[in-house]
Amino acid sequence: MTDHHEPDCLTELLGHYGIADHYYDVWGQHHVVSEETKRAVLEAMGVPAGSPEHLTRSWEAVRFRPWRRICDPVVIVQAGQPSVTCAVRVPSEEGLDGEWTLAWSLRDEAGRTVADDRAGPGLAPVDTQSIEGTRHIQFQLDIPLAVPLGYHDLSVVATVGSRSIQGHTLLIVTPSGCYTSGAFQDGGRVWGLWTQLYALRSQRNWGFGDFTDFEALVRWAAADLGAEAIGVNPLHALKNRRPHHISPYSPNSRVYLNELYVDVERVPEFASSPGAQRLVASDELRSRIEACRKSDWVDYEGVQAAKWAVFEQLFHTFDATHFLETEGARRACTGRGEAFERYCREQGESLERYATYAALSEHFQRLSPPIWVWRKWPAEYQHPDNDAVRAFAERHRDRIRLHQYMQWVAEEQLAEVSRVAADLGMPVGLYHDLALGNDPSGAEGWLLQDVLAMEADCGCPPDAFAMQGQNWGFPPFNPVALREQAYRPFIRLVRQNLSRGGALRIDHVMGLFRLFWIPRGRPASAGTYVHYPFDDLLGILALESVRAKTVVVGEDLGTVPDWVREKLEAVNILSYRVFYFEREADGSWKQPSDYPVRSLAVTTTHDLPTWLGFWTGEDLETRAKLGLFPTEEARRQAWEERERDKTKILEALARASTLSESPDRVEASRAVQAERLLEPVHRFLARSSSCLALASLDDWLREVSQVNLPGTVDQYPNWSRKLSVPLEAMKGERLVRRLAQVMREERPPRRPDDAEPGIGTDPPSRPTTP
């Protein structure tokens, strides 16, 4: 093909893969994406685009790909429609088109046939295509949609004469929207607290807030304070190494849990494990635990070393007690052993591969020098499908079973916390958080490298908060590759996270619609947006939400088009409203009645200052000390803007009648004034129209420094600061009791018979991943 056709192929490829060739920034400025960026993003998707010949071949591959298979990999349809249309494509000789018959059947997740039928002969093709001299035709197959919500295997056998061809597609039938809690019906408004679980201090934990602390927090908050929800940071698996591998928003895996949250001494095997008990009683380990417990900062490496030494002993006891060697394999001989085997079967290949990665990772970290990232492992171990990986797994079954066991134990303890919340009558219960991306050097990067764009990073274009743009450092899902796998990695991700509580926050929910891709090694200004099949992703999210009976919250901060917010509201995803950002066009603060009903209201987030930090300007002082202001003038302007904001907040509190004195009489410069304003600010929050409001435990305990300071790595102790008040002492905090009373006054609890059942359908006991 001659060069003048090259731009046409490039344009067609960009359209097919959802790559924007231009965009508008937050100031309305138009940006035309460079050809270099366009090609680099295509290459990151695995599409050769380096030359005119590459572009031509890539476009031909895209055009002909659907014709080379009988059925599409996935079809998604909303329940309530009478039928769904599926395309069936077959190679056919001239004159035989009308002779084809299509026999189809639908099987549900249990493998039962729920519908079947036959069409033809006499079918008329709706399209034809010639590929390399072979003629292909397309039929339209209409399937009656008299099947329940869920995942169905559609099998089609196309026959002409003695020749038959079979194809499969995953048919996903979704509800119209996500689950809606009955507590939100008829004007119901719920309140709760949120915190960083690892930051909890207690007299018994090992220097890292654990699931027993979580349960104690739930019991106290529900029974004594009247809280109806408890939120925590993402509990995703981490490498637990400072400074780069402790952020819950750049995890090792978003599917599996961080084992450091396990309470070692509560694992059932601890009571019958002499080895574990001797370790915990030893002077060396007791000294390490005490040092971790007393520190004001989480010692990730210290806690990990202490806990994993005991975990190994617990697994040895578990294996010896509940399994026997039978025909060269370990077989369960007790009910607890059978429960573990059942968990492993339900988790399937996903858990097996995660545990294999964990075993490989620890193997290479023991080398001298250690190898910390999988891309530097020997080539034969860099892909989970390689023969060397399978051979390694066979040789190291005990280590793989250990990692499977630890995930099982973690899920057991977290499930118990969720049961306690339900038993206490909390209408929402546990509120979890799902990170947008993952550490590319971690388990998820290794496991999903075929559906992640490993040569690109997520980020955002330049805006008022980051003039050079932001690079978040993790690879995005490749939307085309994800669809080729029938969205199974996405299904697994949302299902696992939705199963653990009553509400789930989706970080950067715009990621279901579009993400800003930055080719690896380029500045953020050299990126562009890639669009995602949001209707498909929202449908899957709704299905899993309804099955789990879990409310979904979409973090929609920043630049979010109105149509996206309308779409989210239409599918019952709550908006996420932060007090600091809820302003009118003139900069004044919105009133409580201006908050959308279908939203979650909070005062602050993990990336923003606490209330005391904001009012005293501690965050600005910290930025100045770390040299994060580009100029002295920028520092001065930030302080001036903060003072103006404080004045506007006082005016807003006065208009809302939550401030008992005139704004001009409140001195706004000292921590004591900040503390005095905690009650009116929380009354303002509680009075909002939002159906769910969460107060920060940091604020209630008068914390000043924020959890995470964006733009820093090792300059600031991100994700490490513990709460200053131990869990056992929180009951005695007068401010906590007073603020809880404020929340109850503005959001009185409803009697159990006042709340209608949630909107949704009962899930099967354990849906299997399609």
Residue indicated by tokens 């209608």: 756
Which residues is 515 bridged to in the sheet?
530
Contacts of 508 (CB under 8 A, 6+ apart): 436, 555
Q: What is the pLDDT of residue 326?
A: 87
Q: Is the peptide bond preceding residue 121 cis, with omega within 30 degrees of 0?
A: yes
Q: Is the peptide bond preceding residue 427 cis, with omega within 30 degrees of 0?
A: no
Spatial contact of 444 and 438, defined as CB atoms under 8 Å apart: yes
The 3-state DSSP class for residue 520 equals coil
Residue indicated by tokens 């009697």: 751
pTM for the predicted model, two decimal places: 0.95
Show the CA angle centred on residue 734, arms to residues 682 and 708, nearest 5°: 55
Contacts of 504 (CB under 8 A, 6+ apart): 431, 432, 433, 434, 494, 497, 498, 545, 550, 551, 552, 553
Q: Which of 483, 480, 461 is nearest to 472 (CA)?
A: 461
**How buried is residue 368: exposed, middle or buried, by Cβ count under 10 Å (0-12/13-18/19+)?**
exposed
Q: What is the pLDDT of residue 665?
A: 64
Which residues is 136 bridged to in the sheet?
91, 129
Amino acid at the residue 672: V
The residue extents of the domains of the chain are 3-66, 80-174, 182-574+691-754
Q: What is the pLDDT of residue 377?
A: 98
Q: What dihedral do alpha carbons 629, 630, 636, 639 form, nearest 10°?
A: -30
Which pairs count as long-range contacts for 629-637, CB under 8 Å and 24+ apart, including other chains?
Answer: none
**Strands 30-32 vs 22-24: parallel, antiparallel or unpaired:** antiparallel
Helical pair 397-423 and 211-220, crossing angle rounded to 10 deg = 0
Contacts of 33 (CB under 8 A, 6+ apart): 20, 21, 22, 23, 528
Q: What is the pLDDT of residue 755?
A: 46
- For the chain, the distance separating the N- and C-terminal CA atoms, rounded to the nearest angstrom, is 42
pLDDT digits (tens, 9 = 90+) for 438-472: 999 999 999 999 999 999 999 999 776 676 788 99
Spatial contact of 196 and 231, defined as CB atoms under 8 Å apart: no
Domain 80-174 sits in CATH at 2.60.40.10
Q: What is the pLDDT of residue 765?
A: 37
Alpha-carbon distance 43 to 205, whole Å?
48
| Fold equal for 80-174 and 182-574+691-754 | no
Q: What superfamily would CATH give domain 182-574+691-754?
A: Glycosidases (3.20.20.80)
**Strands 599-602 vs 575-578: parallel, antiparallel or unpaired:** parallel
Q: What is the pLDDT of residue 367?
A: 95
Contacts of 557 (CB under 8 A, 6+ apart): 576, 578, 581
Amino acid at the residue 286: R
Question: What is the mean pLDDT, run by run of 10 residues, along the chain of 770 residues?
Answer: 61 97 90 97 97 95 95 96 95 89 96 94 94 95 92 97 95 98 95 99 98 99 98 99 96 99 98 98 98 98 98 98 92 98 98 99 96 97 98 98 99 99 98 98 98 96 76 96 98 99 98 97 94 98 99 94 96 98 97 98 98 97 94 95 96 94 63 91 98 99 97 94 98 98 95 51 45
The 3-state DSSP class for residue 734 equals helix
* Main-chain dihedrals φ then ψ at residue 145, nearest 5 degrees: -95, 50
Average pLDDT, the chain: 94
